[in-house]
Chain A
Amino acid sequence: DSGVTQTPKHLITATGQRVTLRCSPRSGDLSVYWYQQSLDQGLQFLIQYYNGEERAKGNILERFSAQQFPDLHSELNLSSLELGDSALYFCASSVDAQGLNYGYTFGSGTRLTVV
């Protein structure tokens, strides 16, 4: 167990639907990062939150949104789902906003299948 908890582990849903992926960071970590891993795009950075505030945005679609709550857990919301959104979604956490002290811890991922 890495200390980063992602739920659910697997999710199957239909096109056009909306889903929420949840991430609880490792205890003491303030930063949360979301990544998408697909066969054609590889591992893509989506968004970073630090202590409740958005810190950086990557290749995140407008149909996707995220937030970090006061208890530091984070949720990634994916709406109007398309077949191409099928991917493995990772959450990672770090103590600080810059991942210093090489402290990134990854969760085991949520595998999303859109049918």
Chain B
Amino acid sequence: AQKITQTQPGMFVQEKEAVTLDCTYDTSDQSYGLFWYKQPSSGEMIFLIYQGSYDEQNATEGRYSLNFQKARKSANLVISASQLGDSAMYFCAMREGWNYGGSQGNLIFGKGTKLSVKP
């Protein structure tokens, strides 16, 4: 069964510093997609970044980058120059059962990491 593991329940980072949030995954699929979402205290789920299993380069979106190590099955999120507004829960997710011609596309989520940015 596919699974996402986030081993850091909570993390602290100083404002303006970089932080890495860990995510490992388990799948037997050759094609899969990995996502990171941010959930602030207000509750909405905000898409941050996506990495496809066949993408050769690590994904980047502004201050967010994804450190994708396929052989180790890890997809860590790196946030550079942390801001106070980055304080939130962060979820790693994988698209389940995806392959060309497949029938479903739901996400499975890790337990999340609560990031607190200190001024």
Interface residues of A (CB under 8 A from B): 2, 31, 33, 35, 42-43, 45, 48, 55-56, 58, 88, 90, 92, 94, 96-100, 102, 104-106, 108-109, 111
The residue from A2, A42, A99, A111 contacting B107, defined by CB atoms under 8 A apart: A99
| Residues of chain A lying within 8 A (CB to CB) of residue B95 | 98-99
A29 CB to closest chain B CB (Å) equals: 12
The residue from A45, A90, A102, A106 contacting B50, defined by CB atoms under 8 A apart: A102
A85 CB to closest chain B CB (Å) equals: 17
**In the complex, which residues 30-64 of chain B have their Cβ closer than 8 Å to any Cβ of chain A?**
33, 35, 37, 43-47, 50
> Please, how many angstroms separate the alpha-carbon atoms of A92 and B106 in the complex?
9
Q: Check A97–B104 contact: CB distance below 8 A.
A: yes
The residue from A31, A98, A104, A108 contacting B44, defined by CB atoms under 8 A apart: A108
Q: Decide: A42 near B33, CB < 8 A? Known: A48-B105, A102-B50, A108-B43.
A: no
Is B28's beta carbon under 8 Å from chain A?
Answer: no
B69-77, B80-88, B108-116: which lies at the A interface?
B108-116
| Residues of chain A lying within 8 A (CB to CB) of residue B108 | 45
